[in-house]
Amino acid sequence: MASKSPAKSSHSRAQFTKWFAAIPEIKYEGPASDNALSYRYYNADEVIAGRKMRDWLRFGICYWHTFRGVAQDMFGPGTINRPWEDGSNSLSQALSRTEVVFDFISKLGLDFYTFHDRDVSPEGANVAETNKNLWAVAKRLKELQDASGIKLLWGTANMFSHPRFAQGAASSPSADTLAYCANSVKEMLDVSKFLGGESYVFWGGREGYNSLLNTNLKRETDHMARFFHMAVDYAKKISYKAQFLIEPKACEPTKHQYDFDAATSLCFLRGAGLDKHFKFNIEANHATLAGHDFVHELEVCVSNGVLGSVDANRGDVMNGWDTDQYPIDIRESAHALLVIMRNGGLGAGGFNFDAKVRRDSHELEDMFHGHISGIDTLARGLRIAAKILADGKIDAFLKERYSSYDKGIGKTIEDGKATFESLQKYILEKGDAAPLKSARQEYLENLFNSYC
Ligand code: XLS
Ligand code: NI
Ligand code: NI
């Protein structure tokens, strides 16, 4: 869906429940503020480089970590007991929880949220009942969206938690599982259309393998391609124009995930004739699992015209897994925003906080500190990137570095007019290639830091 229309400039900041009464509305107070429950850099309606901060950043709150996570780990149970939870996974609990979610987003003054089908509604006794539960909650979500002005950034289907997905979803060796997934995505496309979701995400949580001894890689990836074609066809049939996004991840939970990174996934999409229908949702912590940095993944997408959205988080440099912490690295954030601003923004995407508080940060207030920290890190990154672009030194350096392709022999190469013979003639006449100029990495790193 083309997202040219800016988000509402201010919300009523409706409060439907009492749970956050003790927390003030989070507002911009500037860098000098010593109020930890304020923004020091995110000033939603301030215009930076021709666009409001809220429209560059399009922050989204994720339902799963923020409202369904209890902070359990493999060594112990959850430490989080939210006061609005009755301990059940019932439909009535699912319905009452929706109001808390919208209260939280309103308190933060943000515009978007994201969810999986199973975050918002429980499975029923059979597929029909499961679908009915989903629609009961979707109707409530629509009412809350209308009352608050908060919108759906993207929806997705959880096809990785339940044991039926243990051997894959669309890549499962069981055709029944694939059929089950077809129902899930069909319903979620209908629900997302109903809620006006601007993008739609596919994260292949169990799409991959643990051993090649029991895996037919070709059939599994062919089935995934068939599945994506069916999703494209169905969205077209219901006239749902959301931007489809693949969210690459190298490993975890499977040893090897098929959507390993942006380049691998793009190759898959092109081979399957799907590349016109998909862009990418790049998660910072998934990039590092693939042995890339976050900015590498963004740059690969931008240079191929397929950057769709961002799952904002970070890993821990000393740990090798998806720790899903809130972003705090200002230099990384500035570099990411530089790439995104050169791309003209994220279109129908945004920055979704796929991040969670630590197991020992179990109090209500911690939910706010985590998000405020991430929001201010990205807002600060936006301000720095705008300075870098306005100053123009880095872009000028880049332009000059490739200038041998702007004229003469270089231009014949870019224009497709050069041949091996013409290039040989040129270099024979010249005798040797011209000496290289320094790539000036240290100068550029120091220059970059001077904006931070
Ligand atoms: C897990 C993924 C997941 C997706 C949505 O690592 O990040 O949370 O964003 O299914
Ligand atoms: Ni994610
Ligand atoms: Ni993740």
Residues 227-247 have pLDDT tens digits of 999 999 999 999 999 999 999
CATH number of the CATH domain containing 200: 3.20.20.150
Q: pLDDT tens for residues 199-230? A: 999 999 999 999 999 999 999 999 999 999 99
Q: Write down how long the chain is.
A: 452
Report the b/e string of 187-223 with b at 16+ CB within 10 A. Answer: bbbbbbbbbebbbbbbbbbbbbbeeeeebeeeebbeb
Span from the CA of 269 to the centroid of ligand 1 (angstroms): 20
Residues 269 and 418 in one domain: no
pLDDT at 4 over 70: no
Mean local confidence (pLDDT), 178-186: 99
Residues 6+ apart with CB under 8 A from 246: 201, 202, 203, 204, 259, 265, 269, 278, 279, 280, 281
Q: pLDDT tens for residues 404-435? A: 999 999 999 999 999 999 999 999 999 999 99
Mean local confidence (pLDDT), 35-41: 98
pLDDT at 346 over 50: yes
Nearest residue (by CA) to ligand 1, atom 4, is 203
Ligand 1, residue 252: give the atom nearest the CA.
6
* Cα 363–chain centre separation: 26
Q: Which residues line ligand 1 (CB under 6 A)?
A: 116, 156, 201, 203, 247, 249, 283, 311, 322, 354
Residues 131 and 206 in one domain: yes
Domain-located, residue 2:
no
Ligand 1, residue 322: give the atom nearest the CA.
6
Distance (Å, rounded) from C-alpha 280 to C-alpha 290? Answer: 15
Q: pLDDT tens for residues 131-176? A: 999 999 999 999 999 999 999 999 999 999 999 999 999 999 999 9
Residues 426 and 338 in one domain: no
**For a substitution probing ligand 1, which of 67, 115, 203 has the most ligand atoms within 8 Å of its CB?**
203
Domain termination residue (choose one: 391, 419, 437)? 391
The total of structural domains in the chain comes to 2
- For the four alpha carbons of 245, 251, 255 and 258, in that order, the dihedral sign comes to positive
Q: pLDDT tens for residues 79-133? A: 999 999 999 999 999 999 999 999 999 999 999 999 999 999 999 999 999 999 9
Q: pLDDT tens for residues 253-305? A: 999 999 999 999 999 999 999 999 999 999 999 999 999 999 999 999 999 99
Mean local confidence (pLDDT), 331-344: 98
Q: Which residues pair with 352 in a beta bridge?
A: 60, 311
Domain-located, residue 34:
no
pLDDT at 319 over 90: no
Residues 85 and 189 in one domain: yes
Domain termination residue (choose one: 348, 363, 391)? 391
Max CA pair span of the chain: 82
First CA to last CA distance, the chain: 34
Strand, coil or helix: what is 347? coil
Residues 109 and 209 in one domain: yes
Residues 385 and 415 in one domain: no
Ligand nearest to the CA of 69: 1
Q: What is the DSSP letter of 159?
A: -
Residues 377 and 420 in one domain: no
pLDDT at 5 over 90: no
pLDDT band at 66; cut points 50, 70, 90: very high
Span from the CA of 285 to the centroid of ligand 3 (angstroms): 6
Distance (Å, rounded) from C-alpha 302 to C-alpha 59? Answer: 20
Domain-located, residue 402:
no
pLDDT at 185 over 70: yes
Mean local confidence (pLDDT), 320-348: 96
Span from the CA of 321 to the centroid of ligand 2 (angstroms): 13
Predicted local distance difference test score (pLDDT) of residue 12 = 57
Domain-located, residue 21:
no
Residues 6+ apart with CB under 8 A from 434: 404
Report the b/e string of 242-257 with b at 16+ CB within 10 A. Answer: bbbbbbbbbbeebeeb
pLDDT at 9 over 70: no
Mean local confidence (pLDDT), 21-31: 97
pLDDT at 178 over 70: yes
Predicted local distance difference test score (pLDDT) of residue 14 = 75
Residues 188 and 105 in one domain: yes
Predicted local distance difference test score (pLDDT) of residue 436 = 98
Residues 154 and 51 in one domain: yes
Nearest residue (by CA) to ligand 1, atom 8, is 354
Domain-located, residue 307:
yes
- Structural domain including 446 reads 407-451
Nearest residue (by CA) to ligand 1, atom 5, is 203
Ligand nearest to the CA of 154: 1
Residues 411 and 386 in one domain: no
Residues catalogued as catalytic: 116, 119
Predicted local distance difference test score (pLDDT) of residue 410 = 98
Domain-located, residue 401:
no
Q: Which residues pair with 325 in a beta bridge?
A: 314
Phi-psi category of residue 248: left, alpha or beta, with phi > 0 → left and psi -120 to 50 → alpha: beta
Domain-located, residue 273:
yes
Residue 317: Cβ within 10 Å count: 8
Distance (Å, rounded) from C-alpha 427 to C-alpha 404? Answer: 14
Span from the CA of 247 to the centroid of ligand 2 (angstroms): 7
Distance (Å, rounded) from C-alpha 166 to C-alpha 305? Answer: 34
Ligand 1, residue 156: give the atom nearest the CA.
10
Predicted local distance difference test score (pLDDT) of residue 317 = 86
Nearest residue (by CA) to ligand 1, atom 2, is 203
Domain termination residue (choose one: 339, 361, 391)? 391
Residues 123 and 217 in one domain: yes
Span from the CA of 379 to the centroid of ligand 2 (angstroms): 20
Who surrounds ion ligand 3 at CB < 5 A?
283, 322
How much is the mean pLDDT over the chain? Answer: 96
Domain-located, residue 28:
no
Residues 331 and 442 in one domain: no
pLDDT at 371 over 90: yes
